[in-house]
Amino acid sequence: MRWWAWRQTPASSPVPDVKLFLMYHPPDYAGALPHSIGLEKGRLGLVHLFAARGQQAQNEVVIAHEALHTFGATDKYDRSTLAPVFPDGYAAPRQEPRYPQSAAELMAGRIPVREGEARIPSNLGETVIGPATAAEIGWAK
């Protein structure tokens, strides 16, 4: 993929800091979209999205998530259940009571609404970058 990304960069253009390739699929695409990836090595990513106006706000969440991977952020959800991992995958881990959370940690990707249940954020306004992610991307120590 790094070779392919290098081939997509015209020789005369300035070298970009990050290359994110956005692959839009028709809204009636059958089945689940292929898994999007963001790689720190080479700072590049391939993001699969739905080409629908109604999907744009959630597309922005996915794009931001993959972009942060290229800066070294790690996933903060359980790969088998997709549930945010406590505490780093929670927007407000110290909140009492813990549920429902009002936002998603961007690298967890979902808003925990009750024990064992989480929903996809509607837009970037429902996401935050938590302290663990901020440290990984160099925004905090």
Point out which residues bind Zn ion (CB under 5 A): 75
Measured between alpha carbons, how far is 92 from 131 in angstroms, rounded to an integer? Answer: 10
| Nearest distance from C-beta of residue 66 to Zn ion, angstroms | 7
Nearer to Zn ion (CB atom), residue 45 or residue 101: 45
- 98 alpha carbon, distance to own chain's centre: 23
Minimum CB distance to Zn ion smaller for 114 or for 119:
119
Q: Please, what is the minimum distance in Å from the beta carbon of residue 65 to Zn ion?
A: 6
Q: Do 111 and 103 meet the contact criterion of CB atoms below 8 Å apart?
A: yes
Question: CB of 69: closest distance to Zn ion in angstroms?
Answer: 6
Of 40 and 75, which CB lies nearer to Zn ion in the complex structure? Answer: 75
Q: Which is nearer to Zn ion, 99 or 124 (CB)?
A: 124
Per-position DSSP letters for 66-87, written without gaps between them: HHHHHTT----B-TTT-PBPTT
Q: Is the peptide bond before 34 cis (omega within 30 degrees of 0)?
A: no
The CB-of-97 to Zn ion minimum distance in angstroms stands at 28
